[in-house]
Amino acid sequence: MQNGTQIEYDYSVAKAFTLATILFGIIGMTLGVILAFQLAFPELSNLAGEYGTFSRLRPLHTNAVAFGFTLSGVFAAWYYIGQRVLKVSLKESPFLMGIAKLHFALYFITILLAVVTLFMGYTTSKEYAELEWPLDILVVVWWVLWGVSIFGLIGIRRERTLYISLWYFIATFIAIAMLYLFNNMEVPTALVSGYGSWMHSVSMYAGTNDALVQWWYGHNAVAFVFTTPIIAMIYYFLPKESGQNVYSYKLSILAFWGLMFVYLWAGGHHLIYSTVPDWMQTMGSVMSIVLILPSWGSAINMLLTMKGEWQQLQTNTLIKFMVLASTFYMLSTIEGPIQAIKSVNAIAHFTDWIPGHVHDGVLGWVVFMVMASLFHMVPRMYKREIYSKSLMDTQFWLQTTGIVLYFTSMWIAGITQGMMWRAYDEYGSLVYSFIDTVTVLQPYYTIRAVGGLLYLIGFFMFAYNIYKTIKCGRVLDKEPINTTPVAA
């Protein structure tokens, strides 16, 4: 990928998003650990009045990690990767530079406002679309700014062919734009009636329709925030870090277009045995199984990229992070389709197996890949060596242990509860009252909370390592080509 002349890339916006990633990561994951401990020890839910209850904090956690942490990481990666694969610097266009800075500023303000308003209880209740209408408008504005940034930079590119990572960034931009707009269609009630809170709005859709639009959105917010931009990262950073070519161009085409076509159908698997039409539930179920192909296509393409170079796992901790991320992507994308099979869904739905599934995906795949990307970018943006390898290794094993504790305990909790809900005795009566199926979960909730805590400690190690790298890592005289230099 190297050309003769070096282009001087501008990383000011990428740096800002990098710091935001760490800030929102700490906030979001700390909230997650608090929530986990609240389920294990419910008295913790009443320490801060109405602002400390599990129910008030839960949307804060999901929004902080999805739209605070993950999106910051995605944008940081975009402002780093975009210039490099297009062979053009942001410096060359003051207009695009201004757009990028405005994008960051508005984004940051929105997330801060989101934290405040969700704490206060302003929520639409629709999962991952909780923000009320004034914030929705802000989101749309900076999303459009991001689009201008993507297509603007593409417009002045020197590299004619779009690299695979760009396909995924473009897909992220387009799909989220469509989903977000349709799912957040709402009517502000104060504007119509002249009475009441100006923050309040009412959904354009009612009941079953609302559910359908919501899960068409909700499932694909997962697809296009937690999957496609993360694939964009791994397609750039794994080959770059390992010095290996991507294993197969054909496989990347198949995986990309397959994913685009199939993913949106799978939203219906959130509504199995609900009141949406049966054919839609079946389509959701079937398409979820089909989805294994493009998902594993990407993951296998990444693992085979390492073919013949597996010794790098021993020498390069960053490769370890990325290989584990692809492996968890495979685990998560086989687990999801299994849960989408109707008979499995009958047990799994509404239980802790679902958050278990979400978290092996996000902790193992998304967060690991975002952290690996930051570990790769920071030494190049700040021209410094990573501060500590032993800290990286400790973090890796601590967090891996945390994930395993998390999903194994939630698998057991979910299946236990699902089976207890449907248990009948010999007289044809339900065996367990609901509370029996809650108290039985206490040990698993405790294990999960401990797993989450280990993961959070690992994340603090990561934050510290990045901070020390920026502050006092050994200065690099030239940019490393492949393996990121780490102090022993």
Site for another protein contains 219 (CB under 8 A): no
Q: What is the DSSP string of 291-318?
A: THHHHHHHHHHHHHHTTT-TTHHHH-HH
In the region spanning residues 282 to 311, those forming contacts with another protein, defined by CB under 8 A, are 283, 287
- φ/ψ of 478, rounded to 5, equals -140, 160
| DSSP-based three-state secondary structure for 485 | coil
CA–CA gap between residue 247 and residue 302 (Å, rounded): 7
Least Å from the CB of residue 404 to another protein: 22
444, 291, 420, 223: which is closest to 355 by C-alpha? 444
Among 170, 289, 344, 415, binds another protein (CB under 8 A): 170
- Which one of 105, 253, 334, 472 is in contact with another protein (CB under 8 A)? 253
CB-based contacts of 107-114 (< 8 A; 24+ apart in sequence): 107/20, 107/71, 107/72, 107/75, 107/142, 108/20, 109/138, 110/135, 110/138, 110/139, 110/142, 111/20, 111/24, 111/64, 111/67, 111/68, 113/138, 114/63, 114/67, 114/68
CB 159 to another protein: min, Å? 10
**Does residue 343 bind another protein (CB under 8 A)?**
no
Closer residue to another protein in complex, CB, 57/391: 57
Nearest to 154 by CA among 87, 224, 235: 87
Q: Considering the complex, what minimum distance in angstroms separates the CB of residue 71 from another protein?
A: 19
- Distance in angstroms (rounded) separating the CA atoms of residues 477 and 488: 18
**Shortest CB 97 distance to another protein, Å:** 20
Q: Does 151 bind another protein (CB under 8 A)?
A: yes
Output the smallest distance, CB 470 to another protein, in A: 34
Cα(162)–Cα(81) distance, integer angstroms: 12
Query: Which residue in the set 28, 82, 229, 267 belongs to the binding site for another protein (CB under 8 A)?
Result: 267
> What string marks each residue from 37 to 76 as x (binds another protein by CB under 8 A) or -?
-xx--x--xx--xx--xxxx-xx-----------------
Of 293, 168, 271, nearest to 216 by C-alpha is 271
Tell me if 184 contacts another protein by CB under 8 A. no
Token pair listed for 122:
């302003």
3-state helix/strand/coil string of 80-101: HHHHHHHCCCHHHCHHHHHHHH
How crowded is the C-beta side of 295, counted as CA atoms within 13 Å?
27
Q: Does 84 bind another protein (CB under 8 A)?
A: no
Q: Site size for another protein, by CB under 8 A? A: 94
257 binds another protein (CB under 8 A): yes
Binding residue for another protein, selected from 4, 94, 206, 315, defined by CB under 8 A: 206
Please report where in the chains the tokens 């839609």 appear, as a residue: 280
> Could you tell me the CA-to-CA distances from 260 to 31, 182, 224, 291, 365 in Å, in that order?
33, 18, 10, 10, 19
Per the structure block, which two tokens stand in for 379?
């030494």
Nearer to another protein among residue 158 and residue 422 (C-beta): 422
Question: Is residue 178 a contact residue for another protein (CB under 8 A)?
Answer: yes
Query: What is the rounded CA–CA span in Å between residue 78 and residue 96?
Result: 13
Residue 277 touching another protein (CB under 8 A): yes
Residue 464 is encoded by which pair of tokens? 């510290």
Identify the residue among 8, 195, 477, 488 touching another protein (CB under 8 A): 195
Residue 346 found at the interface with another protein (CB under 8 A): yes
Q: How far is the CB of 411 from another protein (least distance, A)?
A: 15
Beta carbon nearer to another protein, 195 or 314: 195
Please identify, using beta-carbon distances, which residue of 294 and 364 lies nearer to another protein.
294
How many Cβ atoms from other residues are within 10 Å of residue 404's Cβ? Answer: 14
Binding mask 88-127 for another protein (x = CB under 8 A): ---------------------------------xxxxxxx
Q: Which stretch binds another protein (CB under 8 A): 16-24, 63-71, 149-157, 390-398?
A: 149-157
User: Which helix H or strand E contains 186, and what residues bound it?
Assistant: strand 186-188
Return phi, psi of residue 332, to 5°: -70, -35
Query: Shortest distance, CB of residue 456 to another protein, whole angstroms?
Result: 21
Region 357-416 residues binding another protein, contact defined as CB under 8 A: none
SS3 487: coil
The reply on whether position 485 binds another protein by CB under 8 A is no
209 touches another protein by CB under 8 A: yes
Smallest separation (angstroms) from another protein to the CB of 93: 16
Complex with another protein: residue 219 or 320, whichever CB lies closer: 219
Contacting another protein (CB under 8 A), which of 106, 144, 174, 181?
174
CB of 254 to another protein, least distance (A): 10
- Verify binding: residue 464, another protein, rule CB under 8 A: no
- 141 scored as a contact of another protein (CB under 8 A): no
Taking CB under 8 A as the binding criterion, the range among 10-18, 231-239, 375-383, 422-430 that sits at the site for another protein is: 422-430
Contact 483, 243 (CB under 8 A): yes
